[in-house]
Amino acid sequence: MNRASHLIKVLPLISAAALITLPLFGSVPVSAETRPPAATVRLAHLPLARLADQLSGRLGPQHAGSFVDGNGDLVVNVTNAAAAHKVRAAGAKPRVVEHGITPLTDAKKELDRLAGSPGTIGLSWGIDVMSNTVVVSVPENDTNDATDAFVKRARAIGPVVRFKRVPAAPRLQLGPGDAILTGSSRCSVAAIGVGGGTEYVVTAGHCTNNGAEWRTRDGQLVGTRQASSFPGNDYGTIRSAGQVPLDNAQLTQVGRPPAGTQIQKKGSTTGTTSGRLVGYGRTVNYREGAVTDMIETTACTQPGDSGGSLQSGTTAVGIVSGGTTGSCRANYQSFFQPLDEALQSQGLTLK
């Protein structure tokens, strides 16, 4: 099934009766033992992403995001015929839409001011360029009064906001098993970074919050926690102890492919799964705290995949954070921390 067309055509409005109670756990403190100086992470020069950036800068408020269609062509949303002509002249496909980037961004900012409040727990939202709306995802069985009140408030923003039913609330994916372990918690590796001649394992912050010392399944010491940022962000780094060889396999660059790109996720529970990159800038309201600027995809993730890798070919894209609870069925959502932000914050580059 083509996920892009599904998002454009099937975005049913929900009623208050379709809304569940998800308890608020409170915030998990952010910690960082040592923070190296900031460095510049050089994103890969992906041709379609570069063209999309050039056009968005040239069009200003006349654009409304872009994505890759099923034929692999770049589609640029625009608000008028003159802008469409510029897009066509640049070699991309224009699509005239109702909402420009300004009302979309303003609506998301208004929702973000409510992030983390009781009525938002278990919900996520972000600008969906393929439907030209801000999509708020709500668990299909949620009947909480606080969520009902939030939905009414969000609906009042206007037609730029739409609602989509999803099977269940997103949750952090952490479970018992192998891969990298601390105590009884298991997570996965996103990528290997390097800074100042030292190697670091990059994983999820909600993982590194759970313990300082990390080992392989057979007990070898991987290293000790260097930094941990969750909620707000969801990344952590583990300073290599030098006992376990670290390698990025086929990953050679860091980048942000356009929405619509086919991607792969690698984690220690479900292995390699595929899907489509739905969009960037998602705000995800976990029980443990809200995380902003996340990537949404349709790739299957499950507990224990946390900290794993989001990839597109040889490009490293993100870190597994969470996803819809339960099986990976229709309307499945998975969320990822952008890798470039994690590397940048710690002064690291891809090994």
In sign, the C-alpha dihedral spanning 258, 318, 57, 7 is positive
Candidate list 63, 131, 148, 206, residue with the active-site label? 206
Candidate list 228, 229, 306, 334, residue with the active-site label? 306
288 vs 19, 237, 283, CA distance in Å? 20, 20, 13
Which helix or strand (DSSP H or E) is residue 245 part of? Answer: none
Establish whether 178 is a catalytic residue: no
CA distance 85 to 83: 5
Establish whether 112 is a catalytic residue: no
Under 8 Å between Cβ of 200 and 193: yes
Strand positions, DSSP E, 41-184: 63-68, 74-78, 93-96, 124-128, 133-139, 161-166, 170-172, 180-182
Establish whether 306 is a catalytic residue: yes
Under 8 Å between Cβ of 286 and 172: yes
Candidate list 128, 142, 148, 234, residue with the active-site label? 234
Can you say how many angstroms the Cα of residue 141 is from the centroid of all Cα atoms in its chain? 23
CA distance 131 to 294: 18
**Between the CA atoms of 47, 80, 69 and 264, what dihedral angle is there, to the nearest 10 degrees?**
60
Judge residue 118's burial from the number of C-beta atoms within 10 Å of its C-beta, 0-12 exposed, 13-18 middle, 19 or more buried.
Answer: middle
16 vs 20, 150, 152, CA distance in Å? 10, 10, 8
Q: Which residues contact 1 (CB under 8 A, 6 or more apart)?
A: none
Q: Which residues are catalytic?
A: 206, 234, 306
